[in-house]
C-alpha cells in the first residue's frame, strides 16, 4: 500500500573537504546531533526516452536507510515534492504504475541510473528537543545503466521535518552561505546524474516557424496536452481541484481545435475533439456533483435553523456519498481505459506531425485576432437568441449554449494573449465575467432539478419537503438575478473599442 509524504528540501554544492558551519547559530536551532552514516543504494527507472525525467518526476527502488522501498516523486514547487512510497518488492507496485500511466502509456520503465550514496546525517532540533530538519552530507557515485557513463560528487541536503516551520530552511541556508556553501545547480540527484553520465531527456520539437499562426496555436495546444498528462495522476491521487483542471484542459484543447480550423485540419482535429468531449464527460460526473454538493450545502448553511425542517443535512450527506463514489469509479475507469491511452497517443502524433492548413504559415497577430473576433460574434448571436425567448426551459437551454460560447471566446482570447498582448488579456477578463454569470445561471438551473428530486424523495417517505421547496425558490431567484445582470456585463465585454484594439 502506498503512502504520501510532502518533501521540502534544499540541496547545496559540497566538496570532499567542505566543512559545515556551526548550525546552532542558525535562528531556532538549539542543537545538532550526529546520527551516523547510512549506505544507500538506489536504482532509478524511466522510459527509454526519459519521459519521467523530462517532467521532473523520479521513480526509484532504494535499499538501505529507514525508508527502503519504491519512491515516486512528483514536483509541487521549487524545492517541494510529493513522495509516494510503496513497500520494497522486485517489481513496480501497481499503485505506482497507475500514477505513471499517462506518461509511460503501454510501454514499460527500465533501470537507467544507479546511485550509491554514503549519507552522513545530522538532526537539527530546537530547545525543546523537537526535530526541525535533517541535514545530510551525501557522497554520491552515479552509474549510467543504459551506457558506460559514471560520475561522482558530494552534496549537502537539508530536509524540513514534518510540521516544522519552513523558515528554519532560510535560517540554515543563511549560515551555509556565510560559510561559502552555495545552492546546487541541479534540482535532484537524478537530474545531475543524467547530466554528468550522458544525455538527458530530449527537448520537445519546435512548434513551427516563429511568429506564425501555426507556431502560436501549436504552442497553446502543447500546453493543454501537457496539462492532461500531468493531471491524470493528480486525479488518481484525488488531489483537490484535479478533476476540474483536467476537464478544463480537455475543454481548452477542444475549443482551440474548433477556433483554429483554418490553422489545423479539422479532418484530424474533429475526431480528437470528440474523444476529448468523451473524456471530459466521464470526468464531468465527479466535478458536477462536487460543485452541486458545495452549492446545496452552502444554501442549507445560510438558512435560519428554524427553516431547516426534517433530516435535510443527513439526506444531502447520503446523496453526496452515493453519487461521489459512483462518479469517482467512473472517472478512474475512463483514465484506465484503452480509449484514454489511444487519445494520448493521437495527441502526441498531432504534436509530432501537425496537420497545418494554409493559415498556419501566416503572421500570427492577423490570424489569431480574426479567430477571436469570430468567436465573439458567435457568442453575441447566442446571447441575442436567448434574449429573444420567453422565460422558461427553452431560454434556460439557450443561455446554457451561450455559456459554452463564452468559454470558447474566452479561451480564444487567452490563447491569443502571448501574441496580441494587453487587448486579448482585457477581453478575456471581460468575457470570463460573462461566462461566470451564465455559469451561475446554469448552476441555479441544475440545483433546482436536484432540489425537486430531493423534495419528492423526502415527501415520499413522510418527511417535510418545506426546506427543499424554500431552497428551490432561492435558486429560482438566483437564476433571475443572473439574467437581469447579463446585459450590463455583456455590454462591457462587447464594447467596440475592445474589439478594435485586437488589431492595433
Q: Are residues 357 and 345 in the same domain?
A: yes
Q: Is 303 exposed, middle or buried (0-12, 13-18, 19+ CB in 10 A)?
A: middle
Q: Are residues 288 and 423 in the same domain?
A: no
- Whole-number pLDDT of residue 3: 87
pLDDT tens-digit profile of 95-120?
Answer: 999 999 999 999 999 999 999 999 99
> Which residue, 330, 362, 394, sits at the end of a domain?
362
Instruction: Collect all residues with Cβ–Cβ distance below 8 Å to 193 and sequence separation of at least 6.
Output: 44, 113, 115, 140, 142, 144, 151
Q: Are residues 16 and 96 in the same domain?
A: yes
> Is 431 domain-assigned?
yes
> Is 89 domain-assigned?
yes
Q: Is 191 exposed, middle or buried (0-12, 13-18, 19+ CB in 10 A)?
A: middle
Instruction: Collect all residues with Cβ–Cβ distance below 8 Å to 301 and sequence separation of at least 6.
Output: none
Please give the residue range of the domain that contains residue 386: 364-504
> Which residue, 326, 344, 362, sits at the end of a domain?
362
Report the CATH number that the domain containing residue 35 is assigned in CATH.
Answer: 2.40.320.10
Q: What element of type H or E holds 446?
A: helix 422-460
Q: Are residues 389 and 312 in the same domain?
A: no
Q: How far is CA 320 from the centre of its chain?
A: 24
Q: Are residues 226 and 256 in the same domain?
A: yes
> Is 489 domain-assigned?
yes
Question: Is the distance from CB of 55 to CB of 46 less than 8 angstroms?
Answer: no
N residues, the chain: 504
Q: Which residue has the cell 501566416?
A: 362
Q: Per-residue b/e over 137-176, b at no fewer than 16 CB within 10 Å? A: bbbbebbbeeeebebebbbbbbbbbeebeeebbebbbebb
Residue 234 CA to residue 254 CA, distance in Å, equals 21
Residue 407 CA to residue 463 CA, distance in Å, equals 41
Q: Are residues 171 and 55 in the same domain?
A: yes
DSSP string, 450-476: HHHHHHHHHHHTT---HHHHHHHHHHH
3-state helix, strand and coil shares in percent for the chain, rounded to the nearest 5: 60, 20, 25
Please, how many CA atoms are within 13 Å of residue 384, restricted to the half-sphere of its CB? 7
Q: Are residues 181 and 256 in the same domain?
A: no
- Whole-number pLDDT of residue 357: 95
Q: Are residues 34 and 182 in the same domain?
A: yes
> Which residue, 335, 362, 389, sits at the end of a domain?
362
Note the pTM of the prediction, 2 decimals. 0.90
Q: How many domains does the chain have?
A: 3
> Is 204 domain-assigned?
no
Q: Are residues 336 and 395 in the same domain?
A: no
Across the chain, which distance is largest between two alpha carbons, in Å? Answer: 82
298: helix, strand or coil: helix
Q: Give the residue from 379, 365, 489, 383 showing the smallest Cα distance to 424.
A: 365
pLDDT tens-digit profile of 399-442?
Answer: 999 999 999 999 999 999 999 999 999 999 999 999 999 999 99
State the CB neighbour count (10 A cutoff) for residue 210. 9
Low-confidence ranges of the chain (pLDDT < 70): 1-2, 504
> Is 443 domain-assigned?
yes
Report the CATH number that the domain containing residue 304 is assigned in CATH.
Answer: 1.40.20.10
Residue 108 CA to residue 67 CA, distance in Å, equals 25
Q: What are phi and psi of 4, to 5 degrees?
A: -120, 140
Question: Is the distance from CB of 316 to CB of 301 less than 8 angstroms?
Answer: no
Q: Are residues 353 and 378 in the same domain?
A: no
Residue 175 CA to residue 25 CA, distance in Å, equals 8
Q: Are residues 286 and 254 in the same domain?
A: yes
| H-type alpha helices, 152-241 | 167-178, 189-197, 213-236
> Is 203 domain-assigned?
no
- Whole-number pLDDT of residue 2: 66
> Is 405 domain-assigned?
yes
> Is 202 domain-assigned?
no
Question: Is the distance from CB of 143 to CB of 113 less than 8 angstroms?
Answer: yes
Q: Are residues 340 and 388 in the same domain?
A: no
Amino acid at each position: 500500500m502506498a503512502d504520501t509524504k510532502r518533501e521540502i528540501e534544499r540541496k547545496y554544492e559540497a566538496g570532499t573537504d567542505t566543512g559545515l558551519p556551526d548550525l546552532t547559530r542558525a535562528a531556532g536551532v538549539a542543537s545538532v546531533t550526529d546520527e551516523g552514516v547510512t549506505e544507500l543504494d538506489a536504482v532509478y527507472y524511466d522510459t527509454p526516452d526519459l519521459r519521467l525525467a523530462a517532467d521532473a518526476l523520479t521513480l526509484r527502488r532504494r535499499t538501505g536507510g529507514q525508508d527502503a522501498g519504491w519512491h515516486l516523486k512528483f514536483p509541487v514547487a521549487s524545492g517541494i515534492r510529493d513522495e509516494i512510497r510503496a513497500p520494497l518488492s522486485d517489481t513496480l507496485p501497481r499503485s505506482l504504475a497507475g500514477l505513471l500511466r499517462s506518461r509511460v502509456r503501454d510501454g514499460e520503465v527500465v533501470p537507467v541510473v544507479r546511485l550509491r550514496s554514503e549519507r552522513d546525517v545530522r538532526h537539527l532540533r530546537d530547545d525543546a528537543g523537537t526535530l526541525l530538519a535533517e541535514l545530510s552530507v551525501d557522497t554520491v557515485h552515479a552509474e549510467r545503466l543504459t551506457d558506460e557513463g559514471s560520475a561522482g560528487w558530494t552534496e549537502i541536503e537539508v530536509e524540513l521535518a514534518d510540521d516544522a516551520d519552513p523558515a528554519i530552511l532560510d535560517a540554515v541556508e543563511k549560515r551555509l552561505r556565510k560559510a561559502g556553501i552555495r545552492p546546487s545547480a541541479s534540482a535532484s540527484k537524478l537530474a545531475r546524474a543524467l547530466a554528468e553520465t550522458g544525455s538527458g531527456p530530449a527537448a520537445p520539437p519546435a512548434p513551427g516557424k516563429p511568429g506564425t499562426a501555426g507556431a502560436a496555436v501549436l504552442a497553446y495546444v502543447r500546453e493543454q496536452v501537457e496539462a492532461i498528462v500531468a493531471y491524470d495522476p493528480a486525479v488518481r491521487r484525488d488531489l483537490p481541484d484535479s478533476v476540474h483542471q483536467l476537464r478544463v484542459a480537455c475543454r481548452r484543447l477542444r475549443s482551440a481545435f474548433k477556433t483554429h480550423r483554418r490553422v489545423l485540419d479539422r479532418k484530424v482535429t474533429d475526431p480528437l475533439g470528440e474523444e476529448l468531449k468523451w473524456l471530459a464527460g466521464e470526468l464531468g460526473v465527479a466535478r458536477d456533483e462536487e460543485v452541486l454538493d458545495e452549492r446545496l450545502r452552502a444554501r442549507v448553511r445560510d438558512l435560519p435553523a428554524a427553516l431547516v425542517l426534517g433530516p435535510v443535512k443527513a439526506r444531502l450527506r447520503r446523496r453526496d456519498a452515493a453519487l461521489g463514489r459512483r462518479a469517482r469509479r467512473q472517472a478512474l475507469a475512463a483514465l484506465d481505459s484503452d480509449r484514454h491511452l489511444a487519445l494520448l497517443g493521437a495527441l502526441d502524433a498531432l504534436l509530432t506531425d501537425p496537420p497545418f492548413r494554409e493559415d498556419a504559415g501566416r503572421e500570427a497577430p492577423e490570424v489569431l485576432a480574426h479567430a477571436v473576433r469570430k468567436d465573439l460574434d458567435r457568442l453575441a448571436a447566442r446571447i441575442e437568441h436567448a434574449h429573444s425567448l420567453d422565460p422558461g426551459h427553452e431560454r434556460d437551454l439557450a443561455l446554457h449554449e451561450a455559456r459554452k460560447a463564452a468559454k470558447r471566446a474566452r479561451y480564444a482570447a487567452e490563447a491569443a494573449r502571448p501574441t496580441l498582448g494587453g487587448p486579448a488579456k482585457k477581453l478575456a477578463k471581460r468575457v470570463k465575467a460573462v461566462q461566470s454569470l451564465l455559469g451561475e445561471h446554469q448552476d441555479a438551473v441544475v440545483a433546482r432539478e436536484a432540489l425537486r428530486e430531493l423534495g419528492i424523495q423526502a415527501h415520499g417517505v413522510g418527511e417535510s419537503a418545506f426546506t427543499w421547496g424554500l431552497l428551490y425558490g432561492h435558486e429560482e431567484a438566483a437564476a433571475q438575478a443572473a439574467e437581469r445582470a447579463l446585459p450590463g456585463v455583456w455590454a462591457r465585454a462587447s464594447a467596440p473599442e475592445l474589439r478594435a484594439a485586437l488589431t492595433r
